[in-house]
Amino acid sequence: MNEDRRLTDSLHRRADAFSPESVDMARIVHRARGIRRRRRTAVTALAAAAVAVVAVPTALTLGGGPQAGNTPGPAHSGTATASVPQTPQTTPTTTPPPTPPTSPASPTPTAQPLSDIPMGSPLEVTYLHDGTVHYAGGGTAQLPGDPKGVSGFTPYHGGWLVVDEDANTITQYDNAGKVVRSGHNGALAVSGATTQTAYQMDSTIRIGTPMGEGEQTVPAHTGGLVGLLSSGVVYNDGKVMLTDGSGKTRQVQGLVYAQTTYVPGDLVGGFVSDGHGTGPVEGGVVSAKTGAVLWHNEWLPLAFSQDGKYVAAVPAGDNGDSGAVAILDAAKGTVVAQMPLVDNRRYLHDRTVLFGQDDSALFPVDDNSGRETVVRLATDGTVTRATPIAPTVGIAPAYVLATQP
């Protein structure tokens, strides 16, 4: 691993606890999360080197979320919101409460190969493997461009939208594989409820449908697209913003950085604020309509299930590789099921998690040996493989799940 890659890894670990309030640092966070790590080493010296090389603001803190072997604590219900969100600060040094007896057992710090996970039902979502798109309903197609850096893709206007995190680009292809347009700062969002697709290219968010023609454009300055709601598009731009496309833009209260949306309920999940910047790093879900915080705790929401009953999450205080993936009750924030990762020497790719139709969470996992599979975590806690174990190629993942609601 060269020095640039090692430095990027260190910045990535620090960036995960950062709530970007400046445009330049938001870009660093966005790019850092696109780096796929295949080697993981001790980061103490690297973190010190990163501080020496890059002058980071004090807001770039090390989150002190759940420690190894501990499960994030219970949700805190309420409507405590802040009109002016503040950057979450370092979690107090007190050790989080131990796992309650009724919760899944704490993971043991032993390596467990992917082959230990039994094979289960195959993937029922569209995915990319070896440059070939495998459709959910059967059939295949070749994805245009270089598949090695792809981190997200979705059908669009008869062609494709493809995000390449390594090159920090997004490209629209027509049905013949020719480039329609291309730009930087790419992001994708899909709404199953309204069959809309939103994508960011440079400083503009475009909204259309997978097969229809025509688009609506929304200026997003340099912010990052998060997702769609029935009332508009959510994006991060120092604050969490909601625009309805007609020029009306307002702040979504209760969050300092958004991660995911749920259209029917107009819900947004992400990092929450205590209003003072003195509390622990926490995640939560808020209502975009009222600004009320439905719940907040030590889990960071990443994706809602298609029926809105559940939300997939990772520990909010993790600075690098996620310690676990959990399925939470979307309305209460309570843990329904979870799978330990880092303590079992398993690693989640770029916080990529989505739900199948049966409310199971799907996510790509590697075991740091150049092999990868897509894991299915069911609501009853059952963990199975949804794909064969496949080798990765360099820093390219073996499986990329298509962007979907």
User: Of 190, 163, 206, which is closest to residue 260 (Cα–Cα)?
Assistant: 190
pLDDT digits (tens, 9 = 90+) for 293-326: 999 999 999 999 999 999 999 999 887 889 999 9
From the list 70, 72, 31, the residue with the least C-alpha distance to 283 is 72
Q: How many domains does the chain have?
A: 1
* Integer Cα distance of 383 and 386 in angstroms: 10
Residues in CB range of 351: below 8 A, 6 or more apart: 33, 302, 314, 322
Rg (CA), the chain: 20
Residue closest to 157 by CA, chosen among 213, 207, 200: 213
CA atoms of 372 and 393, how far apart (whole Å): 10
H or E stretch covering 47: helix 44-53
Instruction: Give me the domain span that covers residue 146.
Output: 3-401
Q: What percent of the chain has pLDDT over 90?
A: 49
Confidence of residue 3 (pLDDT cuts 50, 70, 90): very low
CATH number of 66's domain? 2.130.10
Name the token pair of 375. Answer: 């894991």
Question: 145 — phi, psi (to 5°)?
Answer: 80, -170
Question: What is the tens place of the pLDDT at every residue in 137-194?
Answer: 899 999 999 888 899 999 999 999 999 988 889 999 999 999 999 999 889 999 876 6
Give per-residue pLDDT as tens, 357-369. 899 999 999 987 8
Residue 72, pLDDT score: 60
pLDDT at 70: 43
**How far apart are alpha carbons 211 and 145 in whole angstroms?**
20
3-class secondary structure per residue, 224-264: EEEEEECCEEEEEECEEEEECCCCCEEECCCEEEEEEEECC
Pick the closest to residue 155 from 196, 214, 123, 184 (CA basis): 196
What number of CA atoms fall less than 13 Å from residue 404's CA on the CB side? 18
N- to C-terminal Cα separation, the chain: 35
Note whether 50 and 14 are within 8 A (CB): yes
pLDDT for 355 equals: 95
Cβ atoms 324, 303 nearer than 8 A: no
User: Which pLDDT score is estimated for 147?
Assistant: 84
Q: What is the per-residue pLDDT for 343?
A: 87
Q: Find which of 19-33, 47-61, 182-196, 296-310 is predicted with most confidence, using mean pLDDT.
A: 296-310
Mean pLDDT for 79-105 is 38
Give the CA dihedral 392, 120, 320, 354, nearest 10 degrees. 100
